Structure 1
Amino acid sequence: MLETLAAVEERNLNQIVVEIARSDADVQYVRTRPSGDSGTTPIEDGVKAFESLHQWVLVNAVSASSDRHRLVQPSRKPAQALDFMRSVRLGPTLEGSYILTVYIPIPPLIGQMTLETAGFPEIEQPFERRVSLSLRESTAQAVAAADEVIRLGRGMESFTERVGNGVNANLCEALSGLSAGSSEPVDIEFSWALSRPMEPTRPIVVTSNHTAVLREAAQELRAQTPAEDVRVVGAVVRLHREGSMGPGEVSIAGIVEGDLNDKLRRVWFDLPEDSYGIATQAHERGTTVSVTGTLVRRGNRYVLQHPSDFYVIPD
């Protein structure tokens, strides 16, 4: 019976089994196409894909938990989004190249809801379903923006115009990382919990051309947009001030917390006299420090404005 259903719907048999077994969850399938045997992937590519998958879900949980949309999300995430992430489950990987699955548990529906009423905005959806809807909407909008750049030659306005639809640098980074360097397209399919019915939706295809544009868009959005409430962790590599007293300029070589690429950056900022003294000791001892502020790019230099919470991280 299941084989007949899979043939009629032209779908993976294992996907149908998963959906029947988990009728209380929205399931997202991310089909990657790495080289090699079906159902396997190179370990480095797999790690990158799973990190991007986590970021993809987290970005949309943050969007669903706030009415304010930004081109770069803050590194400090809302408590509601973090609590939600603890409930999300990874499902088994499936063959068909290499398919990653995500389960988002959906609270049971009290009363009856039909397909005709399920999509109406006046019907309050639980937070978990709102995240699922955001995943599909933001992904479709980001791919549409990349399409406009490719086909119409538009610029970054294709992305900035869609900030209200959940498009931001963090989302572009996550989507561009799902392919893990493969030149093959990535298919993203959405299956809705049977306990809260939704109209079926078509898969979204992210091609290698989309991936290249999304990666560049993420870099441009970060370069042009101040990132608020950013935490930088690293080593003090340069100190400068006029005279032996007063405030001074500090440079850290470190990692920006929440940056999916874990890229080492050199960040400059000013500190008052007491904190400058702490930075001097950290430089002499080679200890790691942490600082929070608004990260902006000026030419080739990253500057942290309004630095605060500067301290040495214990060994």
Structure 2
Amino acid sequence: MITDAGTFNFAQASDPQRISLYLTSRGWDAHEQGGGTLWTAHDESYEVFVPRHRRMRGYASHIRTLLSTLAAAEGRSESQISLEISVSDADVQYVRTDPAGDPGTTPIDEGVKAFESLRQWVLSGAVAASTDGIRLVQPARKPAAALDFMRSVRLGPTLEGSYILTVYIPVPPRIGQTEIEVDHPQVRLLSQPFQRRVSLKLREATSAAVSAADDVIQRRVDISAFTERAEKGVNANLCEALAGFTSPDSGDVRIDFSWALSRPVEPTGPIGLNRDQVTVLREAAQELRAAAPEEDVTVVGSVVRLHREGALGAGEISIAGIVEGGTNDRLRRIWLDLTESDYSLATRAHDSYSTVSVTGSLVRRGNRYVLQHPVGFRVRPEAT
């Protein structure tokens, strides 16, 4: 069923646990009452009733009265409060794009690219949070923790504005939490649940990448501006994702982070991306990939070229294929050297138009992709 943002927000905001979390974070006092809980503002000027469960008769009416009372108490709109309640148990990232054309719409090709980039962006944070090593290019085979995490991430509805993409990352509350404590994003990072560590890493890495782009623009420094920030999570995958949020014909991008009330942090400001920064990020991604290989990748495709000196011995081939399990399924032409026995196998695969696979370290040299240290070359059985 397709719903608009208002319907979505109200459905989420009518959850008793989310409402209780929101009221607790704003200092309201709870008192048990038949069928639910009576909440009183700290100055006792307002009170609201929260039913214990959705099945209670008149539940929707109670929630609408609650939202109306909160709007009067806080001097804000019901829609604003409803949105904050709906995401009170999740970290939410809002990516505000500015495509050309009518507000609230985006060209279909740009929209598809933006959503693909959104997934790659979140995945880059999950991989960085689940590994200790510093990599300029993340591995094609993602850690199990990162893949498990991605299954819990949700896309929210696009919101009012130019074209806003939303990502919901559910964050578990502290067990036994009796009061709201404010943590700085960098304090006690390892004690945080993995979901929160991903959100923190996303913000840290994104901010660092934008700062590196500024250094290139303002100080005319080289790729070292990015490699020096690799320990903060800056890598080719992140830079590609950020650059994919917009197109040359579009405006600036703004990324906002909203933190789950279940584990609050100090408020953080938005991160902006302009066209000049996007251009630098796109170039930086290419240079980072050229500077460091993607290790332990499996290439799957067809042999399209064979070359060796003489009738026997080792030789060079090229495969038109993709990286299996990678985030980018774009067809690439990949070159590699094979032993005599594997070259003979590649020749038969070429003649029979068979699919082959091989594992190694993928590196970019100029405009050419090269697979170094290839192992496990084989012809894949045809699907039936």
Same fold (TM over 0.5): yes
C-alpha spacing 1:297/1:46, structure 2 compared with 1 (3 Å): closer
2:268 paired residue number = 201
| Deviation at residue 272 of structure 1 after TM alignment | 2.7
1:91 paired residue number = 156
Structure 2 letter corresponding to 1:164: E
The residue matched to 2:191 in structure 1 has which SS?
A: coil
C-alpha spacing 1:90/1:122, structure 2 compared with 1 (3 Å): closer
- Of 107, 128, 141 in structure 1, the residue corresponding to residue 172 of structure 2 is 107
- Rounded to whole Å, the distance in 2 between the matches of 1:15 and 1:154 is 43
Structure 2 letter corresponding to 1:104: I
TM-score of the two chains, using structure 1 as the length reference: 0.90
- Of 121, 133, 136 in structure 2, the residue corresponding to residue 68 of structure 1 is 133
- Of 208, 226, 230 in structure 2, the residue corresponding to residue 159 of structure 1 is 226
Deviation sequence 1:42-96 (CA, Å, 0-9, x none):
1111100000000000011000001102001110100010000000000111120
| Deviation at residue 183 of structure 1 after TM alignment | 3.1
- Rounded to whole Å, the distance in 1 between the matches of 2:283 and 2:352 is 38
- Rounded to whole Å, the distance in 1 between the matches of 2:150 and 2:89 is 17
Q: How does 1:114-129 map to 2 (within 5 A)?
A: 114-117=180-183, 119=185, 120-121=187-188, 124-129=191-196
C-alpha spacing 1:297/1:44, structure 2 compared with 1 (3 Å): closer
C-alpha spacing 1:121/1:294, structure 2 compared with 1 (3 Å): same
- Rounded to whole Å, the distance in 2 between the matches of 1:275 and 1:5 is 74
The residue matched to 1:149 in structure 2 has which SS?
A: helix
| Deviation at residue 111 of structure 1 after TM alignment | 3.0
Asked whether the equivalents of residues 118 and 196 of structure 1 are also in contact (C-alpha less than 8 Å), the reply is: no
2:378 paired residue number = 311
C-alpha spacing 1:239/1:4, structure 2 compared with 1 (3 Å): farther
| Deviation at residue 131 of structure 1 after TM alignment | 0.0
1:273 paired residue number = 340
State the Cα RMSD in Å.
Answer: 2.4
1:186 paired residue number = 253
- Of 186, 200, 205 in structure 2, the residue corresponding to residue 133 of structure 1 is 200
Structure 2 letter corresponding to 1:159: F
- Of 230, 241, 245 in structure 1, the residue corresponding to residue 297 of structure 2 is 230
- Of 271, 282, 290 in structure 2, the residue corresponding to residue 215 of structure 1 is 282
Q: Kindly indicate whether residue 175 of structure 2 is the aligned counterpart of residue 175 of structure 1.
A: no
Structure 1 letter corresponding to 2:143: P
Gaps of 5+ in 2: 1-67
The residue matched to 1:311 in structure 2 has which SS?
A: strand
Asked whether the equivalents of residues 182 and 264 of structure 2 are also in contact (C-alpha less than 8 Å), the reply is: no
C-alpha spacing 1:130/1:97, structure 2 compared with 1 (3 Å): same
C-alpha spacing 1:7/1:253, structure 2 compared with 1 (3 Å): farther
The residue matched to 1:290 in structure 2 has which SS?
A: strand
1:297 paired residue number = 364
Asked whether the equivalents of residues 46 and 180 of structure 1 are also in contact (C-alpha less than 8 Å), the reply is: no
Paired residues in the alignment total: 312
Q: Kindly indicate whether residue 143 of structure 2 is the aligned counterpart of residue 78 of structure 1.
A: yes
| Deviation at residue 157 of structure 1 after TM alignment | 0.9
C-alpha spacing 1:82/1:212, structure 2 compared with 1 (3 Å): same
- Rounded to whole Å, the distance in 1 between the matches of 2:229 and 2:336 is 32
TM-score of the two chains, using structure 2 as the length reference: 0.75
C-alpha spacing 1:273/1:33, structure 2 compared with 1 (3 Å): same
The residue matched to 2:139 in structure 1 has which SS?
A: coil
Asked whether the equivalents of residues 300 and 322 of structure 2 are also in contact (C-alpha less than 8 Å), the reply is: yes
- Rounded to whole Å, the distance in 2 between the matches of 1:6 and 1:189 is 22
Asked whether the equivalents of residues 25 and 192 of structure 1 are also in contact (C-alpha less than 8 Å), the reply is: yes
2:85 paired residue number = 20
Deviation sequence 1:9-58 (CA, Å, 0-9, x none):
xxx97565333113111010001111222221111111000000000000
| Deviation at residue 232 of structure 1 after TM alignment | 2.1
Answer with 276-285 or 252-261: which moved more.
Answer: 252-261
Asked whether the equivalents of residues 19 and 27 of structure 1 are also in contact (C-alpha less than 8 Å), the reply is: no
The residue matched to 1:101 in structure 2 has which SS?
A: strand
C-alpha spacing 1:276/1:26, structure 2 compared with 1 (3 Å): same
Return the index of the structure with the highest Cα Rg: 2
Deviation sequence 1:218-266 (CA, Å, 0-9, x none):
0111112122112222221112334444433221123345666655433
- Of 111, 114, 129 in structure 2, the residue corresponding to residue 49 of structure 1 is 114
- Rounded to whole Å, the distance in 2 between the matches of 1:250 and 1:6 is 68
C-alpha spacing 1:259/1:148, structure 2 compared with 1 (3 Å): farther
C-alpha spacing 1:31/1:300, structure 2 compared with 1 (3 Å): closer
2:349 paired residue number = 282
Identity within the alignment, %: 64
Greater RCO, 1 or 2 (C-alpha within 8 Å, sep 6+) = 1
Q: Kindly indicate whether residue 124 of structure 2 is the aligned counterpart of residue 35 of structure 1.
A: no
| Deviation at residue 267 of structure 1 after TM alignment | 1.9
Asked whether the equivalents of residues 71 and 81 of structure 2 are also in contact (C-alpha less than 8 Å), the reply is: no
Gaps of 5+ in 1: none
- Rounded to whole Å, the distance in 2 between the matches of 1:5 and 1:288 is 66
